[in-house]
Structure 1
C-alpha cells in the first residue's frame, strides 16, 4: 500500500483512527435486535429502564426511559490519573469537583499506596454502553461546537428499540466527526475549547479531548463486540 500524499498531522491521524473504528463498529452492530440490545448477562447489570423502574440512584434521561447511573466515585483504574492531576498542580478541591466526589475521597485516593483493588463495577448491557456513548458524543458536540447550554444528561431520549437507538446514535457520532474534521491547528491547542461540564475537558487542549473521545468509543465498542459474541454463543448452545 502506497503512502504517497498521506497526511501525518495530528488531526489526520486521530480522524483516520476514528474512521476505521466507526467502520468496524457499524459492521459489528449490523443485525442488532431488541432482545440482544437489552440482554442482561448477569444479575445487577446497569441498562436503560422505564423511568418508574430505575434501580440506580442517579439514573437520568429526559424521556420515558433512563440510563442507569450510581453514586459518584473514583474507580481504582483512575487513581493514577488523579495522582497525575494533583502532581500537575490541580487542587484537591478542583479534582473533587471534576469527579463529583468529596475532598476527603480525593485525599484518600492520593494517600493510597500499592496496587489498587480491582474495581467493583457493574456489568453493563449493550443498551447502556450505546446510551453512554450517545450522550457523551451529543454533549461533546454541544459543549465544543454548539451553544454550550444543554445538559448532556438531558440531550438523549433513550429508546428500548435497537434500531431507533442506533439511528440516533450514528447521527450524533457523524455530527461530531464532521465538526472535528474542520478544527484548526490553533483550536487543537486551545485549552477550554470544549466546556463539557463533566470531567476535565475544560482544562485540556482540545486535541486531548478528541483523542479521549476516540479512546472512549473504541473501548466501549470492543466491549459491545464481546457481548455480541457471548449472545451468539449462548443462543447457539441453547439451540443444540
Structure 2
C-alpha cells in the first residue's frame, strides 16, 4: 500500500521534473525580460549589501492588482518557498545549517543552480518526515495555520511549486513567441557543427520539422542523440506517425533499441503507445532491428 509520504514525494518529483525541463537553456535575456512598464524583478542593489548584490522588488503589502513579475522574480520566489526555514521548522524539525538561506540569483545560470539546490533541500526535508509529522497539527509556530496538520502544509508547498512552475513555463512560451529564433539556421549554414550541438536531429523531430532531419543527417548530426527530455528522433517520428522520416532514420541505421527517459520504451514501443498503426506495421516488418 502506498503511503501518504510516498504520494507526496511522487507528486513533488513529478512537478519538479516538469519545471526543471521548462527552464532548461534559460538565458539572462529571458531571466530579466520586462514586457511591461511596471514589472517586479530582481535588481542589483546600489550598496551591494543584499545577498549576491541583488534583491527582489516588492512591498510588505502588495498593490491590487499586483504588478507583473519577471522570470527572475518568479524563480527567486520558488527558491525561497522550497528552501525557507519553515519547510523544516513547521514540521517540528531542525534546520540543517548546511542547507543555507535562499539566495536572490543574479543571472540565469545562478538561478538554475539555486533551483536545483532548493529542491534538494525541500525533498530531503520532505523525505525525512514520519507519518506522525504529517498527522500532527503544526501548532503555534505556524501562526494562523496552527490547527493544520503537516500533510496540509506539504500540499501547500507543492501547490506553490506547481502553480508558480506553470507560470514560469508560460512566461517562457510568451518570450519565445515574441523573440522567434530558428535554432537550425546556424547548422544549415555551417556556423554550428555536430560537435557543438549534437542533438539537433532529435530537436528537429521534437519541433516536428521533419524536412530538416535528412538535411541535418547529411551534415553529420547524429541520429541517435536524445533531446533534453530523453527522446531520439526515431522515437518522435514513430510516436507522431511521421512515416517518411521514420523510414529515412531506419535506412540510415538509427538504433531502434534505445529506450527513452519517460516511458522506458524503444521505438516500436512508442509507435504502439501512441497507436500509430502504419509505424507499427513498418517497424514490425523490420524484424529484430525494430526490437
TM-score bucket of the superposed structures, by smaller chain: 0.5 to 0.7
Cα displacement string for residues 92-117 of structure 1 (whole angstroms, at most 9, x for unaligned residues): xxxxxxxxxxxxxxxxxxxxxxxxxx
Contact 2:76-2:104 at 8 Å conserved across structures:
yes
Partner of 1:69: 58
CA distance in 1, matches of 2:144, 2:34: 31
CA distance in 2, matches of 1:43, 1:202: 40
Higher relative contact order (CA 8 A, sep 6+): 1
Structure 2: 5+ residue stretches without partners: 182-291
Instruction: Select the structure of larger CA radius of gyration.
Output: 2
Q: Describe how 1:136-215 pairs up with structure 2 within 5 A.
A: 136-139=81-84, 140-144=86-90, 145-147=93-95, 155-192=101-138, 195=141, 200-215=144-159
Secondary structure, aligned partner of 2:68: coil
Q: Describe how 1:5-154 pairs up with structure 2 within 5 A.
A: 7-52=1-46, 61-72=50-61, 119-139=64-84, 140-144=86-90, 145-147=93-95
Q: TM-score, normalised by structure 1?
A: 0.65
CA distance in 1, matches of 2:140, 2:113: 25
CA distance in 1, matches of 2:147, 2:103: 29
Cα displacement string for residues 76-103 of structure 1 (whole angstroms, at most 9, x for unaligned residues): xxxxxxxxxxxxxxxxxxxxxxxxxxxx
Structure 1: 5+ residue stretches without partners: 1-6, 54-59, 76-118
CA distance in 2, matches of 1:200, 1:224: 29
State the Cα distance separating 1:165 from its structure 2 match. Answer: 1.6
Secondary structure, aligned partner of 1:222: helix
Q: 1:222 aligns with which of 159, 163, 166?
A: 166
